[in-house]
Amino acid sequence: MQDIMQQPKMQAEYSKIKSEILSDNEISAFIKAHQPELSSDIFERDLATIYEYYLQRQKSKTGQSDVHPGYTPELLFVEGQVVVQYRATEATINLHKKLRAASRVQSIGMPKQLKNAQMDDFSQSDAGMTAAVMAVAQFIQAYVENPKDFHQGLYLQGPYGVGKTYLIGAMANQLSFDDIQVMLIHYPTFAANMKEAINDPSKKMDDVRSDMRTAEILVLDDIGAETDGSGWIRDDVLGVVLDYRMQNGLTTFFTSNFSMKQLEEEHFAMSNKGVEPVKAARLMQRIMYLSKEVPVNGPNRRLEAK
C-alpha cells in the first residue's frame, strides 16, 4: 500500500483530497476545536473517515441521494479517533413519532380519514362544536397530567355528520403522542360482527371484547345505531363491558344521534320481548357514570365536503 501511495499520480490525488477537506470551514473548525488531541498523525490516519463525512455533506447540499436517507452525518472525536455518526433528521424523528403514535390507536370499523384528524382542525367558526371541542381539550389536558386518576368521558350527542366522530378521532391522535392507548369502535359494526360470530367460528370476537373491557380509553362510536332485537348485545356484551369499566375506573366515550334519554327509552328499552325499562335503566346508569352528555350541533360536514 505504501508503494502505491508513493506513485506520483496517487500522491497528487491524495493531496487534492486533503486540500479539499482542509478548505472546508466546518471541518477546519472541527479540527481546531479538538486541538491538541487531534494531531496531524491522527488526521492522516483518519483522513478516509473525514473524507466520507465531507462527501456525504456535499451530496446533501447538491440534492443527491444519501447513503443513509433520513439521517445526517455528524463528525465526532471519540477516544483519540475521528468517527462519523449518522443522526436521524427532524423529519425522520417526526415520522417515527407518528408511526409509534399510530400504533397506540386501535380502531374497528372507523373511517380512514380519522388517521389525519387533528384538534387544530376545529376553528372558532364551528359554533355548534365549541362546547364539545372545549370539553375534549380540557379532558386531554387533565388526562395527560394525571393518567392514573379516573376521568369521566364524554357522550357526544348530535345529528348525523356534524363532526362527532372526527372530533374523537382527533382526540385519540392527540393522546397517542403521549403514549396513551385509545380504542375506537364503530359500535354498529362491532354488534353485527358479534352476532355473526355466533354461527361463524372463524370470526373471533372474544379478543376484541376483552380489549374493550380493558382499553385505557374506549370510544364507542354511533351507539344506538346497532340492531339488537333479542337484547343479547345490550345485556351480555355491552352491559358486561361497561360494568367492568365502571368498576375499574376506565375512561369511556360515546357518540350518538340519540340523547341519553332517547337512548334509554327509545332504543335500549325495546326488544322483541317487549318494553324492558329496568334493563335499559341499568345499562344507562353505567353510561351516565362513565360519561357526561355534551350536545353537538352544526351543518352536515359530509354533505359540505362533497
pLDDT at 100: 61
**Domain-by-domain residue ranges, the chain?**
2-88, 94-304
Q: pLDDT of 192-237, one tens digit each?
A: 998 888 777 666 788 888 999 999 999 999 999 998 878 899 999 9
Q: Report the predicted TM-score, pTM, of the whole model to 2 decimal places.
A: 0.69
Say whether pLDDT at 130 is over 80: yes
Q: pLDDT of 46-93, one tens digit each?
A: 888 888 888 888 887 766 655 566 777 888 888 888 888 777 667 765
Q: pLDDT of 2-18, one tens digit each?
A: 444 445 566 777 788 88
pLDDT at 291: 98
Per-residue burial over 100-119, b if 16 or more Cβ lie within 10 Å, else e, is ebeebbbbbebeeebeebee
Say whether pLDDT at 168 is over 60: yes
pLDDT at 294: 96
pLDDT at 301: 67
pLDDT at 74: 83
* CATH class for the region spanning 94-304: alpha beta
Give the dihedral of Cα atoms 290, 295, 301, 304; nearest 10 deg.
170
Considering the chain, what is the average pLDDT of its residues?
85
| Beta bridge pairs of residue 77 | 82
Cell 479540527 sits on residue? 31
Do 243 and 284 touch, CB atoms closer than 8 A? no
Q: pLDDT of 24-42, one tens digit each?
A: 888 888 888 988 888 888 8
